[in-house]
Structure 1
């Protein structure tokens, strides 16, 4: 059995909900747990604070307690229409808005003297293709931003690369807004015509990703790069 840890985030930035918190909740249902067992997966999930430092500490505590083989960290990405697999985490905190504890670092490293970046070791193009075959929008992203999502991705990548107690691999996955969030996001940011995805499609997609990843398939050599 492959042990998989999935994390979500609490709401932030003026929103009352965060789709990743609802996804994590759905992953704990009996129906999903049965699918996981049938797919050879032991699944654990947890909710993290949208706070510099604390998000990484809470995730590390979950990793050390559960000892997973794979860690998937989920985050909300307003403006994206697809489930996005992040390729790279960068050693930079540059928060456009304060986090939920009021922290707003500018041009600070996530880890002092850490590498400039970490690349995921998971076969994310294969996972992307698996979602597309299910009719669920998916893409590769080459920027997780510079807010708490990237902070967590880099912090956990650094932790897994520099300690010997856990041999897990990780990736960060961004999901779109929920349809019911679009109006609130318009009021908060003024952004027009934001894309969204229903919760059931997100949950179906993440469940499929987890079960596919648990088989540790090889990476597909398909183009998923960008020009700009």
Structure 2
């Protein structure tokens, strides 16, 4: 039985809830296998999110790590391809830190590629009627920091990646694009179910 670590984030920037944690908890409440599912809610803070994530990875030795977070303003679910070695915060994190042009890991590589089957997941989500797209980079805030950290904290054969979610209907500010809460949970469940599928290489070249 594979162990899948699934994470969401606590609220930030004045919001009462974070749809990523809501979706993760909804999936966990109804999950019936076939994997062993481990869930965690991460703080929206650079240092403490990395520390918490590494601790959970060390404790459970997952076969797959799927992190999720909020990309408010996006209308689609975005499967991220790259975590970059950069912290450049538009707003302070929940611990009050606001790094600018700083490295996630001073001695780390410039970027790390997600090892989730990213195109396969986008195709799967789309086939199930969910708006989904590939996204090149997870940005430079805590979501990206978690993706970059996770990829460096697991063995090379551990499937790892990040999925950005739009606002849910129940959490969206006025006029913000959103998807129904149950659709976000359905999307996250599909990612869990298909994260360990073998990726089929795109015609003519690399899956990346």
Aligned: 1:168 with 2:158: yes
TM-score with structure 1 setting the length: 0.85
More strand per residue: 1 or 2?
2
Unaligned runs of 5+ in 2: none
More helix per residue: 1 or 2?
1
**Corresponding residue pairs, total:** 204
CA RMSD of aligned residues (A): 1.7
- Quick one: distance in 2 between partners of 1:135 and 1:167? 30
TM-score with structure 2 setting the length: 0.92
Q: State the SS of the aligned residue for 1:142.
A: strand
Give 1:167 deviation, angstroms: 4.0
Give 1:170 deviation, angstroms: 0.7
- Quick one: distance in 1 between partners of 2:203 and 2:78? 16
Post-superposition CA distance 1:44-95 (Å, at most 9, x none): 1011101111101111111111111000000000111111100000000000
Equivalent residue for 1:209, pick from 180, 191, 202: 191
Q: State the SS of the aligned residue for 1:53.
A: helix
- Specify the alignment match of 2:31 in structure 1: 33
Structure 1 stretches of 4+ with a deviation exceeding 3 A read none
Aligned: 1:43 with 2:41: no
Pick the structure with greater CA Rg. 1
Aligned: 1:181 with 2:171: yes
Give 1:27 deviation, angstroms: 2.2
Equivalent residue for 2:151, pick from 148, 157, 174: 157
